[in-house]
Amino acid sequence: MKPKGLSKTILITGSTSDIGRKIAIRFAKEGWNILCHYNSSRAKAVELKKVLIKYGGKHELLRADLSSKNQIQSFKNKLDKFNIDVLVNNAGTYTVSKYFSELTIEDITKTFMVNTFAPMIISPYLFMRMREHGFGRIVNISSIAAKYGGSGFSMHYGCSKRAIEGLTKTLAKEGAKSNVLVNTIRPGVIDTEFHKKFPKDMQKRISMIPLGKMGTPEDIAEMVFYLGSERNNFITNEIITIAGGE
Ligand SMILES: NC(=O)c1ccc[n+]([C@@H]2O[C@H](COP(=O)([O-])OP(=O)(O)OC[C@H]3O[C@@H](n4cnc5c(N)ncnc54)[C@H](OP(=O)(O)O)[C@@H]3O)[C@@H](O)[C@H]2O)c1
């Protein structure tokens, strides 16, 4: 284990999302080195790196389309040269909004490739190295859709998120004796660009939230920081819902 005080390194997939970006900034503020994964949003990734550099530390951008089997493999190979202490599986996709009876196997496969299969390949690989070092934290970003099943239009998404919660359980049990702590966060409705891609009646959706408002990316980043840093000594194999009471 690295002595306290030396910079640790975190890999955040989907760092170009609003939630991923806030997670990156939260850790950078504490002196961490950030590996920022992105796919299509190169400009956002470059801009994020500029922000992170202001806090010091070493930051790198890594591109991979996690819906591609070959790119998942080459992304994994690229990680070889880094000593990664913490992994946040945050990249996610909804691919298409279709009623469950209309979904094709391609729609479902693409969603699962990004949300589930990529984390199922990358996390065990990093896990084995974390275990050797005697320190590791993995935070999987699921969704409230895994808790309630979402709507009839999100079967593919909700099921893929439910599956990543299963990954949490396996790794948490295997990592417990080696100080590798693994947890799931289930965000509820968070105010991000995601909701602009698939417009719906947001006021109606917000009225279903007991606290009567959307969460912010910072609400999620704060919990990721707690679970994903040395602050967390005794929480593993948990699902934390951050959803305003839903
Ligand atoms: N916003 C919410 O209300 C909410 C609620 C529950 C759970 N979540 C989860 O929280 C996470 C972040 O959500 P968000 O709302 O901040 O952002 P988002 O708009 O869902 O952003 C998606 C992120 O995933 C990456 N991504 C998408 N397809 C990819 C692919 N094929 N290969 C690699 N990366 C890919 C994107 O990278 P590029 O842009 O670089 O392509 C982007 O960084 C997601 O896992 C989402 O499911 C969000």
Give tens-digit pLDDT for 77-135.
Answer: 999 999 999 999 999 999 899 999 999 999 999 999 999 999 999 999 999 999 999 99
Report the residue among 17, 94, 109, 192 best suited for mutation to probe ligand 1: largest number of ligand atoms under 8 A from its CB.
17
Give the number of other CB atoms < 10 A from CB of residue 29.
Answer: 14
Spacing, Cα 13 to ligand 1 middle (Å): 9
Model confidence pLDDT, tens digit, residues 49-88: 999 999 999 999 999 999 999 999 999 999 999 999 999 9
Task: Return d(Cα 15, Cα 38) in angstroms, integer.
Answer: 6
Structure tokens at 104: 């094709």
Burial of 105 (0-12, 13-18, 19+ CB in 10 A): exposed
Structure tokens at 207: 């009225």
**Is the Cβ atom of 18 under 6 angstroms away from ligand 1?**
yes
CATH of the domain at 59: 3.40.50.720
**Is the Cβ atom of 41 under 6 angstroms away from ligand 1?**
yes
**Do the domain assignments include residue 3?**
no
Shortest-distance atom of ligand 1 to CA 115: 45
Spacing, Cα 178 to ligand 1 middle (Å): 30
**Do the domain assignments include residue 104?**
yes
Contact residues for 121 (Cβ-Cβ < 8 A; gap 6+): 72, 73, 76
**Do the domain assignments include residue 88?**
yes
**Cα-trace Rg, the chain:** 17
| Number of domains comprising the chain | 1
Mean pLDDT of the chain: 95
pLDDT exceeds cutoff 50 at 226: yes
Q: Is 226 a catalytic residue?
A: no
Residue 5: predicted pLDDT = 45
**Do the domain assignments include residue 1?**
no
Give the number of other CB atoms < 10 A from CB of residue 41.
Answer: 18
Spacing, Cα 89 to ligand 1 middle (Å): 10
- Least confident among 33-42, 59-68, 101-110, 145-154: 145-154
pLDDT exceeds cutoff 80 at 2: no
**Is the Cβ atom of 95 under 6 angstroms away from ligand 1?**
no
**Do the domain assignments include residue 157?**
yes
Give the number of other CB atoms < 10 A from CB of residue 203.
Answer: 7
**Is the Cβ atom of 83 under 6 angstroms away from ligand 1?**
no
Task: Return d(Cα 158, Cα 104) in angstroms, integer.
Answer: 16
**Do the domain assignments include residue 153?**
yes
- pLDDT band of residue 197 (cuts 50, 70, 90) is confident
pTM of the model: 0.97
Q: What residue type is 226 in one-letter code?
A: Y
**Is the Cβ atom of 190 under 6 angstroms away from ligand 1?**
yes
Give the number of other CB atoms < 10 A from CB of residue 46.
Answer: 13
**Do the domain assignments include residue 2?**
no
Tell me which residue range forms the domain holding 204: 9-242
Residue 31: predicted pLDDT = 97
Residue 111: predicted pLDDT = 98
Among the listed residues 155, 162, 89, the one whose alpha carbon sits nearest the alpha carbon of residue 121:
89
pLDDT exceeds cutoff 90 at 29: yes
Contact residues for 126 (Cβ-Cβ < 8 A; gap 6+): 11, 79, 84, 87, 136, 138
Please identify which of the residues 94, 125, 148, 157 carries the catalytic annotation: 157
Shortest-distance atom of ligand 1 to CA 66: 32
**Strand arrangement, sheet containing 180-187:** 59-63, 33-38, 9-12, 86-89, 136-141, 180-187, 239-242
**Is the Cβ atom of 114 under 6 angstroms away from ligand 1?**
yes
**Do the domain assignments include residue 105?**
yes
Coil vs helix vs strand at 187: strand
- pLDDT band of residue 200 (cuts 50, 70, 90) is confident
